[in-house]
Structure 1
Amino acid sequence: MDSRTGEGLVAGDDGQRYRFTPEDWAQRGEPAIGLKVDFESNGDRALSVFPMPEVAGTRHVLAPPPPREPVNDRNKLVAALLAFFLGPLALHRFYTGRTGSAIVMLVLSMTVVGMLLTWPWALIDMIRYLMMSDREFAARYPRKD
C-alpha cells in the first residue's frame, strides 16, 4: 500500500490489477506485498479484500506498487546542445555528472590529436542523448542529492 494515499493494488486471476483503499481491507493490520488474498471486483476496484490462509490454488496476490519515475534535474536537449557546440570542452559530460570522463575529454582536447578524438566523441554523445527517451535519460543521469 502507498503510505501517502492509503491505496493499494492487487492482482487477480485474470491478470488485471485492481485498486483498493484501507476501507476495502477486511482484516486488522495492514496488507503485505506477496500476501495471497481474496476479493470481489467492481470495475477496476477490489472490494472486501482479505488474506487467504496458505492453501494451494489461491491465486490473488497483492501486487507491488508501480515503479517510481526517475527524477532528474537535467535536460537531454541541453546536454545535446552542449555536446554539439562545446563538445571538446566536455561541458555536456560535466552537466550529466560524468566528471571522470569529462576530465579525460578535456585533457585530450589540449592536443591536436586529442581534438580529433573528442569532436566525434561529443557528436556521438549528442546523438545518444537525442535518441534516448526522457525516462531513459533520467534513469541514466539521475539527480545527485
Structure 2
Amino acid sequence: MRGQILGVDMRTGEGQLAGEDGRRYSFRPDDWAHRGEPQIGLPVDFNPEADRAHSIFPVPVAPAAAAVPATAAPPVYAVAYPPGRYEPTTDRNKIVAALLAFFLGVLGIHRFYLGRTGSGIVMLVLTITVVGMLITGPWAIIDCIRYLVMTDRDFARRYGS
C-alpha cells in the first residue's frame, strides 16, 4: 500500500504514516527497510498489518527534467543567487588583499593570500630583475584597484574556497 510519513519521534524512531486508504499506521525503526531516516511528508510503500506498517520503503520519484520536451529552450547557465540564499562565501578579505597588493604587491604576496600561487610565484620571480619590477609594480596596483572596486559577492565568487 502507498502512504505518506506524518511524523517521526527522533528519540525513539517511532512514527506514524497515513495510508492511501485514509487510515493511520504506526511504525518502529525496525519497520523502516531502507537506509537513512524517514522524513515527514515522504511518500512510502508499506505492508499494512492491523494498525502497524511493516517493510516501509520510500517511493522513487521520477525526475521532472525527463518530462521536458526536446523543443524546449536551451538551458541557461547563468548563476542567479536569491538574496540571502546560496551566497558564495570566502574566508579571505578583499581589503586585506588590496592592502597586500598595494604594499607588497611586487612580491606577489596578495596572490599567495588569495590562493593564486602560480601567479604569485611568477610575480616573485619577476621581481628579482629591474625589468620585472617594472612589470609587477603596475600589475600589483591594478590588482589593488580591482579588489577595491569588486563587489563582495564577485570577490567571494572569484576567490572563494
Q: Secondary structure at the match of 1:71?
A: coil
Match of 1:71 among 77, 89, 92: 89
* CA deviation after TM superposition for structure 1 residue 28, in Å: 3.7
* CA deviation after TM superposition for structure 1 residue 71, in Å: 1.7
* CA deviation after TM superposition for structure 1 residue 142, in Å: 1.1
Cα deviations across residues 36-74 of structure 1 (Å, max 9, x unaligned)?
A: xxxxxxxxxxxxxxxxxxxxxxxxxxxxx9551112000
The Cα RMSD (Å) is: 2.9
Query: What letter is aligned with 1:142?
Result: G
* Larger radius of gyration between Structure 1 and Structure 2: 2
TM-score of the pair, normalised by structure 2: 0.50
> What is the alpha-carbon distance in structure 1 between the residues aligned to residue 111 and residue 156 of structure 2?
14
Q: Which stretches of structure 1, 4 residues or longer, exceed 3 Å deviation after superposition?
A: 27-35
Question: 2:127 aligned with 1:109, yes or no?
Answer: yes
Greater relative contact order, per chain length (Cα 8 Å cut-off, separation 6+): 1
TM-score of the pair, normalised by structure 1: 0.55
Matched residue pairs, number?
92
Cα deviations across residues 90-128 of structure 1 (Å, max 9, x unaligned)?
A: 110000111000000000000000001100000000011
Gaps of 5+ in 1: 1-21, 36-64
Match of 1:84 among 102, 106, 118: 102
Query: What letter is aligned with 1:141?
Result: Y
Gaps of 5+ in 2: 1-38, 45-58, 66-80
> What is the alpha-carbon distance in structure 2 between the residues aligned to residue 33 and residue 83 of structure 1?
48
